[in-house]
Structure 1
Amino acid sequence: MEYPKCDFIICNSSSSQEHGSEINNLLDDPLCNPEHPIKVTFEDVTSAAYKIKSGIKNTPCEKSHISQLTGMNIFLKKDFLQHTGSFKERGARYALLMLDEQERKKGVIAASLGNHAQAVCYHGHQLNIPVTVVMPIIAPIMKIQKCREYNANVVIEGQNMFEAKQKAYELSKERGLKYINGYDHPHIIAGQGTLALEILEQVPDIDAIVVPTGGGGLLAGISVAVKTLNPRIKIIGVESERCASYSQAMANGKPIYTPIEGTLADGLAVPEVGYNAWETSKDLVDKMIVVNEEWVALAILRFLENEKCVVEGAGACGLAAILCGEMDEFKGKRVVLILSGGNIDTTILGRCLDRGLAADGRLVKCRVTVSDRPGGIAELCKLVCSIGVSIKDIIHERAWVTSDVFSVEVIVVCETRDYTHSVELHNLLQEKYKNFVFENFPAHPRSLSTSHSF
């Protein structure tokens, strides 16, 4: 690849105009220039594979137990088994190895919420290259601490990634540090593509590879490697509906600023696809799927229950695309899912599992109006327990019940075995109580092994 001869430039893209005047003053990365995007080649990927192999794990790609539930032959590329818990190490190591001697001495700088920061810090530590990372105040404390353990200079600044990147750009110019974009630097893209080379060696006769998509670096690297070696294989991108920047780029014909919202797939929360990633991948992607948060939560739950794998939201998006029915054309086919990362905060994991159980119809909340005379609530609890349903929480409310003063509304949160068991509970309570409703209960089963509804 040939790099454009340029210094830092002022970003004048359409995304900048939409984001507001603040971004117009942002110094941008010379290797991520919207006017001169760099198209990463297959030769770049193979070069990266050769150079990083001594420092990167060749992670397993194994057939999944979930295959029998989906009607597909699913293989899981478990790149969350890298030392820092994500595929980001591939690109980070290659970008560091490609620095010249002067750049190595001065060091590098990056901006990240977590995975890219950890990868650069770890491999910088391994290669004796000074690393500075700028992390916004919303970055998980655990990830900040990990970066410090690798002797990195950690700067906590900015309310979000935009402000953190702005600070990183400023420090890069002030201190002469090489800035490494986490998803659009050409060496990052090439490094991520090495994952595809491993997959093609590990799994024969692949029909499709499903790639979590945020800034597009992983998608670009994988698509150029796969389509060069086997154009028949379908490349499927997946992103959350709360940060669907690649879909917006496809609709717009080029990267465009896309407002993002809080998402379980925080690793994909990039408001604008990288220019180099877009130029590399735009003609190679066969399909882009957008999934909602409930399917992501359910996928995290499925991986934990069926594979004993703890993956973050971004890594679960591939399975979410299958669960929501957007890949039914691959029934009976061989499909590889990339489990891109496992760095999920333990408190967030708990919330994801609860949301997954609710989406699966196994954690239900019902409102029942019962008699406020002695034994009314006890009778309800006895009825619920009679069919083996576990009561997780119960609250009763008198002030807002409009029927009569001798009634009380009870909110009961229950855990059931499966969707069918919840339907059984619904029917039982409906027969017994006049005023009864299930709240936010899925109209149809999201469990792949059930088919009941009401």
Structure 2
Amino acid sequence: MLTLDKIYHASFTLKKYIRPTDLIHAPKIHPGSDIYLKTENLQITGSFKVRGACYKISQLSEAEKAKGVIACSAGNHAQGVAMAAAINNIKALICLPDGAPISKVEATKAYGAEVCLVEGGYDEAYAKALELQKEKGYIFIHPFDDEDVIAGQGTIGLELLESLPEMDAVIVPVGGGGLISGIAYVIKSLKPEVKIYGVQACGAPSMYNSLASNEIQRLSEVSTIADGIAVKEPGKNTFELCCKYVDEIVTVTEDEISTAILTLIEQQKLIAEGAGAVAVAAAMFGKVPVAGKKVVCVVSGGNIDVTILSRIIKRGLLTSGRTCSLNIELLDKPGQLKSVSQIIADLGGNVISIHHERSNEASNINGCFLRVELETRNYDHIEEIRNALINKGFRLES
């Protein structure tokens, strides 16, 4: 049974392994609301997962520790288990999807764990871990559907109540449901008026679908940049806890996640992975009621591969109107490029690339096309530049 005593015990036990993370005020995330960020992306190992993993392993008997541990993960639980195993001087084998970010794979190895890469996603890694556990006799450390793991994640709820007792709501990323189960159990037990909202990616809405149908649903596939919450099926324990203690689960799109990552970088100087940014995305895009309220967004992790980060930043710039592409049909004569450039410059746009192409069979024989990539302030700025070009007689392709 999950109890408050167990979570308080987890909090005491974890003091020597982890650090309480800061709660940062971030009102610009959603004007008209009072947003705070729980920065678990700055936790040891870069994610909240170390809490549950460390507490679970601390509760193993010496005989169990002697067998070694095995786990499956999209990357963050892997690092938590690897670190906890190293602290306890026990063997750890981690099954990771072969598509896991390189940074997460290498970080797991750096803690001393053995890594087994499995073709597919989290669920395939889970199946492989169970197979190896039966074969070798390891102790399996579940990433979310385990009461000790949930108790470890629930220590975040205790920290939130201590740091911001007047909060109105908490927004939490949801994959398998271990994080939100622990936080919701603590907060609803001690301060039931606080709303608990969960967030999933549109491409991996397993808990969202399960709560909507009032029974556990398994997805046939998942697809999202938020690899840390790309879980096909929630756990039995986490589903029951969410049914009882979570007020609502919502979903966010890939573009909304990308914009949230970019916003955290620019406004808060924080790096979040896709899974870590979904709570901020839900607040930014009004997926849950935050206006006029004190709301905590849990930024659950920051372990993002830099190559993925560069693509996400580009996507976020496009989504927020910070960059745009204009296709302009021109007459192929001197001075046209100068005129276009002058209009853009006068309105404060910044040209970052230009591609000039002679006309094709569908256009004027004396025509040409100009593709201009711009840095802009927002969508209103883009529209202002488009209208100015049209008013000067230039034809823009949609």
- Normalising by structure 1, we get a TM-score of 0.84
**1:437 paired to 2:397:** yes
Cα distance between partner residues in 1 of 2:318 and 2:240: 40
Q: CA deviation at 1:401?
A: 5.5
Q: Which residue in the other structure is 1:452 paired with?
A: none
2:85 to 120, 124, 138: 124
Q: 2-side partners of 1:127 and 1:437: how far apart? A: 63
| 1:279 is aligned to 2:240 | yes
Whole-Å separation in 2 of the counterparts to 1:400 and 1:214: 49
Corresponding residue for 2:60? 99
Is 1:76 the equivalent of 2:46? no
2:349 matched residue in structure 1? 389
Q: Is the 8 A contact 2:49 2:77 kept in 1?
A: yes
Mapping 1:251-400, distance limit 5 Å: 251-327=212-288, 329-398=289-358, 400=360
Between 256-265 and 306-315, report the one with greater CA deviation.
Answer: 256-265
Give the one of 208, 222, 236 matched to 2:183.
222
Q: CA deviation at 1:373?
A: 2.7
CA distance in 2, matches of 1:362, 1:231: 41
For residue 362 of structure 2, give the secondary structure of its aligned residue in structure 1: coil
Structure 1 counterpart of 2:366, one-letter code: F
Q: Using a 3 Å threshold, how does the CA distance of structure 1 residues 285 and 401 change in structure 2: closer, same or farther?
A: farther
- In the alignment, what sits opposite 2:9? 47
Gaps of 5+ in 2: none
Counterpart contact for 1:369–1:433, Cα < 8 Å: no
CA offset digits 1:244-288 (Å, max 9, x no partner): 111110122121112344312221111111111111221211111
Equivalent residues of 2:27, 2:34 under 8 A apart: no
The 3-state SS of whatever aligns with 1:128 is: coil
2:386 to 414, 426, 447: 426
Q: How does 1:175-254 map to 2 (within 5 A)?
A: 175-254=136-215
State the distance in 2 between where 1:409 and 1:182 align: 54
CA shift, 1:417, in A, is 2.4
AA paired with 2:311?
Answer: R
Cα deviation 1:68-102 (Å, max 9, x = unaligned): x5211111111111121000000000111111111
Structure 2 counterpart of 1:167: 128
Deviation at 1:51, TM superposition (A): 1.7
Give the match's secondary structure for 1:325.
coil
C-alpha separation in 2, matches of 1:50 and 1:274: 26
Report the Cα offset of residue 43 of structure 1: 2.9
Cα contact 2:359–2:366 (8 A) shared by 1: no
Q: Give 1:58's match in structure 2, choosing from 17, 20, 27.
A: 20
Deviates more, 1:399-408 or 1:144-153: 399-408
Aligned AA (2:25) = K
Give me the whole-angstrom Cα distance separating, in 2, the residues matched to 1:85 and 1:433: 53
- Are the aligned partners of 1:131 and 1:152 in contact in 2 as well (CA < 8 Å)? yes
Instruction: Determine the C-alpha separation between the residues in 2 that align with 1:357 and 1:144.
Output: 28
Give the percent of matched residue pairs that are identical in Structure 1 and Structure 2. 38
Question: Any idea what the Cα deviations from partners look like across 1:34-64, whole Å, max 9, x if unmatched?
Answer: xxxxxx3333322221221211111111222
Q: Aligned partners of 2:198 and 2:184: how far apart in 1?
A: 10
8 Å contact from structure 1 (residues 260, 269) kept in 2 = no
Contact 2:36–2:294 (8 Å) recurs in 1: yes
Residue-pair matches, total: 398
CA contact (8 A) 2:168 2:193 kept: yes
Q: TM-score by structure 2 length? A: 0.95
1:128: how far off?
1.0
Q: Is the 8 Å Cα contact of residues 376 and 382 (structure 2) preserved in structure 1?
A: yes
Summarize deviations over 1:327-351 as a string: whole Å, max 9, x none. Answer: 3x43111111101001111121111
For 2:44, what is the secondary structure of its paired residue? coil
Are 2:375 and 1:411 aligned? no
1:102 maps to amino acid: A
Q: Which moved more, 1:254-263 or 1:78-87?
A: 254-263
Q: Secondary structure at the match of 1:209?
A: strand
Separation of aligned partners in 1, 2:141 and 2:200: 23
CA distance in 2, matches of 1:401, 1:361: 32
Q: Equivalent residue of 2:296, what SS?
A: strand
SS state at 1:164 partner:
helix
Aligned to 1:21: none
Q: Is the 8 A contact 1:109 1:168 kept in 2?
A: yes
Structure 1: which 5+ runs fail to align? Answer: 2-39, 439-454
Label 1:423 to 1:105 Cα distance change in 2 as closer, same or farther (>3 A). Answer: same
Report if aligned partners of 2:199, 2:282 keep a CA contact under 8 Å in 1: yes
Q: Secondary structure at the match of 1:84?
A: helix
Which residue does 1:87 correspond to in 2?
48
Q: Post-superposition shift, 1:383? A: 2.8
Tell me if structure 1 keeps the 8 A contact 2:344–2:385.
yes
3-state secondary structure, aligned to 2:244:
coil
Secondary structure, counterpart of 1:330 in structure 2: coil
Take 1:400 and 1:100, find their aligned partners in 2: how far apart are those partners? 75
